[in-house]
Each structure stands twice: as C-alpha cells, then as structure tokens.
Amino acid sequence: MKAPAQSITPYPKLDGLRVFLAVGIAFVGNCVNGQSQRPTTAPVVANERSDGMAALGGREGQSRAIAEALEVFGIRDSDSVSAEARVVTLSEDKTPFLHDQITNRPIWQVTIADYRLKLRSAPEGHEDSISRTFDVLIDPTGNRLLKITSRWPEGYKESAPEPRAAFAEDRFRDSGREVYHGFPDPPPAVNFLQALNIIYTTAADPYDAKQIVAHYVARSTLGRKPQDVWAINLRGITPFESSYPGVLECARDHKRHIVDAKSGKWLFASTSPQPETPE
C-alpha cells in the first residue's frame, strides 16, 4: 500500500521529477546482494557420514526418523510418498538464533521427493503446479523436528537469496523484538500441512510459494512470553500490491506466517527478514 504523496486531486499524481526519481530509485536499489551465495536449494552438506547410520541408531533410528518426519509433516499414509532418510552434517544453516543446533553435528535428513501440496480447504481438483522436494531435518534422537524446507524448484528465478542467520536475527530484533528461543519438547498439536491449511484459509496461499521454509519453535515478540508456533516462510510468492515504484519486488515476494502450534490460530505475518543489503 502506498502513502499518499500530497494533498492533490486527482491523486496520486506523478510529475516528471517524481517519475525520474522513482525510476532512479528502481535502478539504485536492487535485489541481488554482493555476496557469493548459493541458490537456496538443498541443505549445505559438509559431510554425509558412512558410519552415521550406526551412530544414530542404524536402521531402527532411520525408521524412527522417517516416522517422525511424516508425523510432523502430516502424512499419514507412508506408502503415498517417497521418503528417504540419511545422516548428514550441515556446514551452514540460515535458521535465526538456532542454526548452531542444526549445523556441525550429525542429524537426520528425511527427503520427501515429488510432493505436491494437497490442502484440505483447497477447492476440489485443485493441483499444486510445483513438484516439491522437502527436506525434513530431525535431531539425532530422531524425536525432534529441526526444520522443514522445500528446495527451490528448477525453472524459477529466485529474486534474492534467503538471508544469512546473523542478518536475519538483526532484522528480527528490529521487527517487534522477535526471538526464536529453541525447539519445543512437546510435539506440535497442529502438523505442518494443517498449519499450511490454516494459512490458506486465513491469510495467504501456500500454493503460490516457490519455496516453503518452516520451523516449529518457541518464539516471542515485544518481550512477551514465548509461545510454541509454526513459523512458515512462503518464499517466491506473487508480489503483493504496492503502487510505489521504490518498493522492490524482492521486498514483497515473501511473507513469514506464524501459527499457534497448539490452538492452530493464525497469529501474524511479516516480510521480515528482508533480503540482505547490497554491498
């Protein structure tokens, strides 16, 4: 939405100078930062350990991780999807505040390939146009979700990379003093697909997202008591409306939704964190 420019009728009016400035702004501001960042696709694997399976419980641990991943995802019929689990050690992760609990230790990565969203409230016959590959990261015990992220699909351009964790943390602090405190012990009463459906019925269309990055975390804002929530970032959505030329598309093509993981109530959405600053 746009702030009215000045008291004029008809309104708003862009005179020559304003158009010049607006075009200039569009060229000066851009969506690609100066860092050399990989496209946001699969997790960055530092080491896929051949002995990792044994370290994390062998076949039994693997089955437990897959079961946990499907449970928290919301897939009841395991035969309906292709899910594989492996032990990985990630060298990099972009989860604000909690990336250290994900990187540099062996964890389970359960990959659900060729998955198309089917949300309960979507119209009958509506199909997800994107074949998605989800990576569900589970902690070494196989009992706790760390992250669900879909890989950026081929054939679509990413307007700006997902910001690094440290940058995102600064943005969170400057946007309602938001903090992710940790991964909750109790499993979410609302699973991932149910949370997406709640977003669908309330605030946004997950089918429109090129990439979905989800965390089940204890989160607080404005210094208030932490709450167990789903934080689901819909990335690569159709940019929402703005008539002001200075608001770049990469600032409007993502929104992170917060859903109460106990009650299922949609709570909030925000563009934070925005892409990193060009250097």
Partner 1 sequence: MTTRQLVSAPQYLAFALATAIISLISASAAIAQTEACSNSNGHVDFCDDLAPSACVAQGGISLGPGTRCPVGQGTIYGNLNGDGVVDLLDVEPFALALVDPDSYDASFPDGNIFLADMNLDGLLNGIDIPPFVERLLFPPPCEFGRKYTFAFKPGGDPTGARARITTHNMLLCGEPFDTKPGGSLVFVTVTRLGSPQRWAQTGYARYRSRTPPHSLTVRYLRYAETKAGILPLDYEWADGPAPEPGAHLYDCHLLSQLFGTWLFLYDDELWHEFTRPGWIGQRGTGVEWTNELWNANDGLAGTPSKHCLFSQCQLAQNWNEFEDTNLTAFDLNNSDPNEYAIQLLSPTSFEIWDLNP
Residues lying near partner 1 in the complex (CB under 8 A): 1-12, 21, 25, 28-29, 31, 122-123, 126, 160, 171, 173-177, 202-205, 207-208, 221-222, 237-238, 240-241, 243-244, 246-248, 250-252, 255, 266-272, 274-278
Closer by beta carbon to partner 1, 214 or else 250: 250
- Residues whose CB falls within 8 Å of the CB of residue 269, separated by 6 or more in sequence, listed in order: 203, 204, 255, 256, 257, 258
* Two tokens, residue 202: 């309330």
Instruction: Please name which of 41, 56, 147, 43 lies closest in space to residue 106, comparing C-alpha atoms.
Output: 56
Closer by beta carbon to partner 1, 57 or else 245: 245
State the residue for tokens 């009016």. Answer: 13
* CB 276 to partner 1: min, Å: 7
Closer by beta carbon to partner 1, 187 or else 239: 239
Q: How far apart are the first and last CA of the chain?
A: 28
* Two tokens, residue 109: 């990565």
* Three-class secondary structure of residue 95 per DSSP: coil
Burial 112-137 (b: 16+ CB within 10 A, else e): beebebebeebeeeeeeebebbbbbb
CA–CA separation, 204 vs 206, rounded Å? 6
89 touches 45 (CB < 8 A): yes
Ramachandran area for residue 177 (φ above 0: left; ψ -120 to 50: alpha; else beta): left
CA–CA separation, 257 vs 66, rounded Å? 26
* Three-class secondary structure of residue 170 per DSSP: helix
* CB 238 to partner 1: min, Å: 5
Closer by beta carbon to partner 1, 68 or else 260: 260
* CB 1 to partner 1: min, Å: 6
Closer by beta carbon to partner 1, 91 or else 201: 201
* CB 21 to partner 1: min, Å: 4
Closer by beta carbon to partner 1, 65 or else 122: 122
* CB 55 to partner 1: min, Å: 41
Closer by beta carbon to partner 1, 156 or else 244: 244
* CB 105 to partner 1: min, Å: 31
* CB 261 to partner 1: min, Å: 17
